[in-house]
Amino acid sequence: MTLGTATSSGDQALYAAGLLEAGTLTSQAGSIYVGEALKRTGSADLTTVTAAGAFVTYTSGDQTLGTVSTSGDQVLDAGGTITAGTLSGQSDLEVLANALVLGEGTFQGEATVKTAADQQIGTLSTEGGIALETAVGGQGNIVYGHLEAGAPETVDEAEQRIGAPGITVVADGELRRLTPSTGDALAEGTLQMKAHTMEVGDLKSAGADVVLEAAQDVVADLAHAKRDLKITAGNDMRIGEMNYGGEMSLVAGNNLWAKVGHDITFATAEVGGNAELYSGGNIAFDSLKAGGLVNLEAAGDVAIDDFVEAGESIVVVSGGDATIGSLTSQAGSITVQAAGSVTIDSLAAAQGFVEATSGADLRIDTVTAVTGSFDAAEALHLGEAHIGERLDLSGQAVTAKVFQTKPLDPFVLNLTGHAGGLADVAEVHVTSNSEVAFGRVWGKRVGLRTTSDRVRIDDAYVPQVLTMETPVAKLVADNASTAPVAGAHVQLHEQDQRFRVEQRGRHTFTDAYVLRYSAGYTVSVPNFSQDHTDGGPEVRSESALLYTEQLTNMALSNAVGEPNGGDGTQNGEGGNPFEFPSWPQGLLNLEGIFGPAQLPLVPPVTPAVNTDGGGLTGQSGEGQPDLFSQSFGGLLLTRTFIDTEEGEEEE
């Protein structure tokens, strides 16, 4: 049946067994009905429909509608597809069809659309709520450009409207944006979306919650909730920006990616893959589990009340303070960086490294890792550090208890101030069966205690005191004083405060000045110049005297001639005996006496070593003589001191 124009003051009831086609239908005071629920029209193609009342259609096939405007409800029921250009009404819209294609819809009431298959909506705005749904099992998709429900623009910044008109979208298939620049949904009340997979634009609830759920991916440009934000994805989750006033709950079967302009706060999050959260404010939550990596970056503070567990690496970056319960990486590493202070109960990366830096204090109760690196601008405290291979400690005040967990020899450590500078004070206890090898120890006052009797420091910079204790030896390097240190088995002193030392059982090797050592202990020192360049043979304990005497006699013979050699003449042409080509580069640490350059034949006012009469070349201990030997002007001078309780007496 074909109608050009039909106008009535009352109702219109139209039926066609086949196609009903009309140009313009107008009811000035009534409603327009096409078919009935029990007697459907075959299909309808209507260009313009205007009704003072309702517009109701029942077709067994398709409906094609150009422009429809009503003061009452619009009820569209089709066994096929409804294709509509513009629908507007002062009341509700109800659509039940196999599929819907709508260009634009505007209603003062509610809009409910249910289809067995797909829905495509350009724009749909209502003063009431919006509900879009595709049937379960039909795998129908919902594609839209813009959805808006209620009056979101009237919600104040501090106001919540829990029961206000909202938007509910449930797609058995995909939920997608119509074009790359659309896909927005704005609700005065709650916004809920559920789909097999979701790829949309900006999602906002002006007065209540936003709830997003997908069996696969959730991808959105923005998610904004006045109150709570809950996002669940069976696969990937990627949110360009998130804003909310309450709490956030995140669940993703694979990856989570979210960026928030302000704070991120939620209770728990579970992610099968990677979790990446970026906040322009603070990040605060109870727990986060991820099968892959975890990356948390906040411009403000990071507060994790309970834990983060990750299958791979964990990275936490804070522009403020970081307060963390525990971080555990099953197969990766852990990095924590904070501009402010860092407080952590536990860090565990049994298969990788742990690294933490702080712009203030850094305190960690327990650390477990293969290697570790920690740097604090102020105090660094490690309650227990269980490390397999290497540990770097940097801070102005360092305290650490270290336990080696792998049978690796040596166990390598470094101890410095912040950023590799000079620490003010440090106390480090190391439990290890291997050699404990410090590449660098830089600190004003340093205390080292180990369970190993093998300790090495390749580069020590100690302006004040280093105390190093092993099970069998206590070594003290006091670079601020040469006064005897009670209880020290070996005492060192280095004027430029830079030296190296190695302790093996009761034997010490060092290029620092050896002031004294106890009976039963031995010391080896290299011959070196003022810049500590090694040269000549090492000198060990009492053999130093014999070596000194041999070299002195050689120098004297060169100066005055061989008394019993050659033709028996003494020509005295040797000149300065210190020009002797085989003279060592600073025997027995007598810096400034035996040097590679020509020296004046005058003794130094104060010897470079043993300024208090302490011994360098002989064995010394309680009641043992300290010997100080130096050679100048071709002569060997020896002074012997006897230590007594009252002091030292010179002979």
Q: Quick: pLDDT tens for 227-255.
A: 888 888 888 888 887 777 777 777 777 78
Q: What's the whole-number average pLDDT of the chain?
A: 84
3-state secondary structure of 609: coil
pLDDT digits 0-9 by tens, 393-422: 999 999 999 999 999 999 999 999 999 999
User: Which pLDDT score, from 0 to 100, does residue 373 have?
Assistant: 99
So what's the pLDDT on residue 443? Answer: 99
Q: 367: which residues sit within 8 A by CB, 6+ positions away?
A: 346, 347, 348, 354, 382, 384, 385, 386, 387
Neighbours of 557 (CB within 10 A): 18
Tell me how far apart the alpha carbons of residues 249 and 265 are, in angstroms, rounded to a whole number.
8
| Region of poorest pLDDT, from 274-283, 345-354, 548-557, 570-579 | 570-579
Lowest mean pLDDT across 9-13, 284-288, 578-582: 578-582
First to last CA, the chain: 138
Q: Which of 251, 132, 123 is nearest to 193 (CA)?
A: 132
pLDDT at residue 390 in the model: 98
Cβ partners under 8 Å of residue 151, min gap 6: 127, 165, 188
d(C-alpha 591, C-alpha 607), whole Å: 9
| Alpha carbon of residue 390 to chain centroid | 20
96-151 pLDDT, tens digit per residue, is 999 999 999 999 999 999 999 999 999 999 999 999 999 999 999 999 999 999 99
d(CA 51, CA 74): 10
Q: Does the structure show a pLDDT above 70 at 596?
A: no
Query: Is the per-residue pLDDT at 589 higher than 60?
Result: no
Q: What percentage of the chain has pLDDT greater than the value 70?
A: 81
> What is the pLDDT confidence band of residue 622, given thresholds at 50, 70 and 90?
very low
* Residue 270's pLDDT band (cuts 50, 70, 90): confident
pLDDT digits (tens, 9 = 90+) for 367-391: 999 999 999 999 999 999 999 999 9
Whole-number pLDDT of residue 532: 52
What are the C-alpha distances in Å from 541 to residues 473, 522, 524, 625? 17, 6, 7, 13
Strands 264-271 and 283-290: parallel
Residue range 568-578: mean pLDDT, rounded: 37
Question: In which band, very low, low, confident or very high, does the pLDDT at 259 lie, cut at 50, 70 and 90?
Answer: confident
SS3 of residue 152 by DSSP: helix
pLDDT at residue 427 tops 60: yes
Structure tokens at 556: 């004297």
Residue 603 pLDDT: 32
The predicted model scores a pTM of 0.69
447 has a pLDDT exceeding 70:
yes
Which tens digit of pLDDT belongs to each residue from 504-557?
999 999 999 999 999 999 999 875 445 555 555 555 544 444 444 555 555 555
Q: Which two structure tokens, joined as six digits, stand for 37?
A: 């629920």
| Least confident residue range of 30-34, 165-169, 643-647 | 643-647
Instruction: Output 59 or 258, whichever has higher pLDDT.
Output: 59
Cis peptide preceding 410, ω within 30 of 0? yes
Calpha distance 184→584 (Å, rounded): 85
Confidence of residue 584 (pLDDT cuts 50, 70, 90): very low
Confidence (pLDDT) at 531: 52
- 577 pLDDT exceeds 90? no
